Each structure stands twice: as C-alpha cells, then as structure tokens.
Structure 1
Amino acid sequence: MAEVHRQIQNQLEEMLKSFHNELLTQLEQKVELDSRYLSAALKKYQTEQRSKGDALDKCQAELKKLRKKSQGSKNPQKYSDKELQYIDAIGSKQGELESYVSDGYKTALTEERRRFCFLVEKQCAVAKNSAAYHSKGKELLAQKLPLWQQACADPNKIPDRAVQLMQQMASSNGSILPSGLSASKSNLVISDPIPGAKPLPVPPELAPFVGSQSKLSDSYSNTLPVRKSVAPKNSYATTENKTLPRSSSMAAGLERNGRMRVKAIFSHAAGDNSTLLSFKEGDFITLLVPEARDGWHYGESEKTKMRGWFPFSYTRVLDGDGGDRLHTSLQQGKSSSTGNLLDKEDLALPPPDYGTSSRAFPAQTAGTFKQRPYSVAVPAFSQGLDDYGARAVSRNPFASVQLKPTVTNDRSAPLLS
C-alpha cells in the first residue's frame, strides 16, 4: 500500500512540476516579452496613423482655401482644375488612412488570438498531465484494491509465511534447547525456577552462533546492555581488574545455597519496562533465581506480588550469615567474577566494563553499605578493596624512607667550566 501511494504521489509531483514549468514559467516569460513588443508596436502604429491623418487634414485645409478663392474671384473656372486635384488627393489620403486602421485592427486581433492560443495550448498540456495522473492512480488502485480486500477478508487467518516462520522457530527451539539447564546457561530464558516459565526462542539467523558463544554467557546476559571500554594497557590495570570482582558475581556467590529474602534499602521505579520490578524502601523481596546477572536479580515483591528484575545493589540480605557466605564464596572462587573468567583457558572476553579506581570508594562492608550506587556494575566491597589497597601500597619501595630537612645558606653562583 505504501508503494502504491508513493507512485501516486510521484505522479502528483510530476503534474505539479509540469504545471509550473509549462504554464507558469512560460506565461511569465511571454508576458515580459509581449509587454515590450506590444508597447513598441502601439507606438509605431500611433505615429503612422498620426502622420496619415495630418496629411489628410492638410489636403482638406488646402481645398477649403481654394474654394474660398474661387468664390471671391471673377473667373472661378481657373480654380476648377486645381480643386479637382485636391479632391482626388483627399480621397486617396482618406483611403490610405482607412486601410491602415483596418490593417492595424486585424493585426491586433491576430496578436490577441496568438496569445489566447498559446495559453490554451499550455492549459491543454497541463490537463493532459492531470489526466495521466488520475488514470495512473485509477489503474494502480484498481489492480491493488481487490488484493487488499482479499488479504483482510478473514482476520483470523494467519498468512502462510507466518506459519512457516513459526514452524522454523519451533524446530530450531527443539534443537537448540535440549534441556532447561542449557537454556538457562545460554541466556534463552528469564528464569527456570518460576512455575510455568517458557524459554525464549532464538531467531533462526542467530542459531549457528549460540553454540560458539556459550562460554560468554557466564558473565554477560542478553537481557541488559553491555558497555564497552578500552583494554588495560599494563599489568597494573590487569591486576586491578582481577582483584575487584563484579557485583553480579558477588550476588551469584551470595545465593549459591538457595533462595533468600532481601530488604530494599533504596526505592526503584520500573517505568514503562514491564520486565523490571518496582519497589519502595523497606519492601521485602523473595529471590526466585539462583544467580544474578550483571548485578540484576529476579524476584517477587512480598507487598505487591509482582515479579521482575531489579538491581541487587539496591537491597541487602536479611540472613545473618549472608556476609559470611559472601566472604567464603569469594575466597573459594565459586562466583563468576571477571578475574576468574580471565583465568579460564580458551575464553575470549571483551575487557571489563568498569575502570573506576578503588581510591574513589571508601572501604565498607557489604552489610553496612548505604551509599546509593551510581551503577549496579561498579564494585564496592571491602574484601576486594582491602586486597587491592594493600597491593597498591606495597608496590612503592620508598614508602619506609624518611627524609631529613636540610638548611643551606650557600648563595654562591655556579661554577662554569
């Protein structure tokens, strides 16, 4: 339908362009040229007519004088021949003037008709283009209208292409998702523990790439955007990246032992996103998935009974041993931190998406952390910060050297050789 209307619009634009080029522009040029030509022709005609009229008036005046002389003369016969000559001249002059006026009138009518014919010719050209526009539009609509009406005759009928696409998606879903565990590891489902949860199918064009990228699913999820950063330039930056774990990996290590309840320490608004969970400060949330993904957790609000994703750093664990399990899981290396992933063999990962130095964050424990984070992916845990701070200080070999103040009054000029 859009293509048909586009063609009709193109025909309309061609018609308007023809109207402008063949009628308006030509008329403007014609009026400008004719105004000069007709002004000159009128001036010439008036001059010639005045000349012929003056000659006729002169002959009539001479004839009048001659008749006065003949009437007062004793011998009027001697003026008779001359009077006949003036009468013939007056008749000749009168005929020339009348002929000239007639020719001028004919010329004026001819020029006027030429202008009208020019205008009618241009109007016919514009009308022809308008007729072509309407006939083209009628032809296009006459061909497409039955097809459009047939396409929407049965609203409950699904097109064949859509049926084929659904069959392909079903077949690819069966081959790519052999089990619920593999589907969860490849980021194809929101959460397996939710009753009645269904896996999200993978588009057919992306099916060949799912197997080759299964290792990347431990640290990156397709539900949240991943930021890119510049790779570290030296070993010092690499040590920093390995020392500071991601908040998502800490959340994953925190929940290895099963579900738990958390309490919101900040408010979170989902906005227009239906996959996010909204809550107020002080609300209790039950976690529904065993692991967090890039700092985001999936749970159910006990107050509103709504489910969705929420930033895990906006909450704190209610269990008393949550901090101990966090410390134990980090030391045993069970969480999928960036440092652990970098140590894996044959694993190509992009550089970490955080580069903030630990000196910008105060050393706080996970249980007493109250400052609202700028990003859920920024680490702010005391275990990683303490180790990182100790390593950074130990790198200075002159940290224990004390300098003594010295005073000198030597103001002599330097020796030049």
Structure 2
Amino acid sequence: MSSANLDQLHRSTLGVYESLLDQFNPGLQRLVALGKTYIQAFQALSSTSEEYFHALGRMGEQALHTLSSRSLGDVIIQIAESQRRLTNELDGMFRWFHSEVLREMENNVKLDKDFIAGSRRRYEMEVHNHASALDRQQRRGHQDVVEYTHFLRDSQKDALKEEERRYRFLAEKHCNLSLTIAQLMNKMGGALHQRAEEWGDCVNETRASRPRTPSRMEQMGMREEERAQQWTKREEPSLGRVPSRGPSPVLMRSRSGSLGDGLGGGRLMRAIVSCAPSPNPTLLDFSMGDAITVLVPEPRNGWLYGKGQNSPRQGWFPASYVEPLDQAPRPPLPRGTNPFATVKLKPTVTNDRSGPRAPGRII
C-alpha cells in the first residue's frame, strides 16, 4: 500500500474518534438533559391529571345522590378511576424510562468520554512508534510497511466497532422503551376501549329510558303546540260512524234541478289537509290542495260524500278536511307558533266613568 493510502487510512481512523468525542457524546448528554425535562413535564402533567380526575370523581359522587342521574354518576366515577389508573401506569413507565434509559445513558457518557480519549491517545502513540520504526528502516535502506498497514487496518476496524457499539446501545434502549409503551397500550388500551363503549351504552340508555327535562324555550313551544291542537279540535266536529252507502240521486240534484254527476253539479271544495288511503272502499282519499266536488248538501255524522276533481272514484271523507273553494287558503301554522298571535281584536267602547275627565268635556 502506498504512503498516500496509509495516510488516508490513518486520518479516517482519527475521524471516527473525533466523531465520538465531538458529536456522539455531546449529543448523548443533550438527550439526557432533555429526558430529565421530559420526566419533569410528565410529573407536572400527572399531578394536574390526578387533581382533574379526582374532581371529576367528586362530581360523579354528587350525581349518585340525585334522583335522575345515579347511573350517570356511576359512569363518571368509573371513568375517573380508569383515567387515574392509566396515569399511574404511565408514571411507572416514566420511572422505568428514568432508571433504564436516562441513568444508563448518563453513566455511559461520563465513562465513555475518558475511554474514547484514552483509546485515541493509545492509537496515536502506536502510530508514532510505527512511523519512527519506518524511518529507521528507511535510513538502513530497508523499509517494511506490511506490519504498519495491518496495524492501521485493525485500528480502524476497532474504532468503527466502538462507534457501532454506542449507536447500538442508543437504539436498544429506545427499542425497549417502545416495547414498554406497546405493552402498556395493550394492557390498558383494549380494556379501556371496551369499557368506554359500555359507558357510552349506559349513557345512551339513560337518554332512551327517561325523557330529559325540556329547556324553557322547548317548554314554551310545546305549550303553544298544545294550544294549536286544542284550537283545531274546537273547529273540528266529532265524527260518527261512516254512513253505510253513498247519497241517493235525489240529494245529488243541483238547485237548477239537473242531476249532479260530479262534473257539473255539487259544491266545489278545497282539501286543507290530506286524507290518507284506507282499506275501506267507501272512503275517499286525496291530497292537501286537491279540488273536491261535494255531492251531499249537509254532513252526515261529520262526513261528506264527494269525488276528486281528477278522479272518477267517489267516497266519504271528514267534513273538517275541506273548505269552500272561494275561501282564502289558511296559512300553515309553524310548529311552536302561538295560534292566537295573529288574532286582531275589534276596538271596544267602554262607559267606565271612573277615569279622569278631560278638560272642558261634559259627560
């Protein structure tokens, strides 16, 4: 091997030692410092978490003493206890991280600084000794560089092994950390996921089994809707039994004397609500807004007889479902709207003499 190649091999070996002293060991020291800060941050988080879930548990205990939310209180207490156990497990993992990772790295980086510095000094001393021997051989006219070449190659291999050993140590420690986290997740995650689903089912059961207390606005809307229904009931006559058959031809005659056939005779009405189809063949179905020809002069038991304008079928239907076609359509009543809000009161005159007299007015 030429002297240039030997010099390059020597510089490469020195570069490995310099990398360990100037980059790896300082980097490991920074990792240790950051790890300690990481643990301190978790300890603060753990303390806050303990306070938070302890307070959550107290609220669950309050719910246990209510008449409406006892089962929900039990769920809240279970959630708080599960989270506190999870925090304790995490606390144990961080204690392991401190003892098995941070402390080992901190101890090794202190020892390694002296070890690598000593290894480099020994290497440089051996290189100096070999170089002196080669100079003496050169002065005698005979120079054998084989032994020196083997020494440089072996030294470089040793330096590379030391470099690899340190990065392997770093990787192994954090592989173990990842395994510890995975074991914790398998231990707590599956059970917590299953329990969370059970808690959700319990919460949904309370929503389905017992009606929740409506808000004030919802209560007002419900009262207004009840009033609207009562108002509608007052307008609708009670329905008796459906007449057994259609009207006689005599009742279907119009005022002019002609026989009303549903096309030229009878009153035209407009459906204000829909009448759903029925298995009873004597009933007439239609949709809201349809024109209906009424073929009887007066309701029977609250029923009218007629036919749809666009249908040949005839039948009975509730009299309250239609209104005269020439009457303005009723505006739809929005849900929760006061049906009395649009009522206009007529002005009234009172003869109350208790009020003050206007100046100059004779009563």
Same fold at TM > 0.5: no
Report which of the two has the higher share of helix: 2
Q: Give the structure-2-normalised TM-score.
A: 0.36
Q: Give the structure-1-normalised TM-score.
A: 0.31
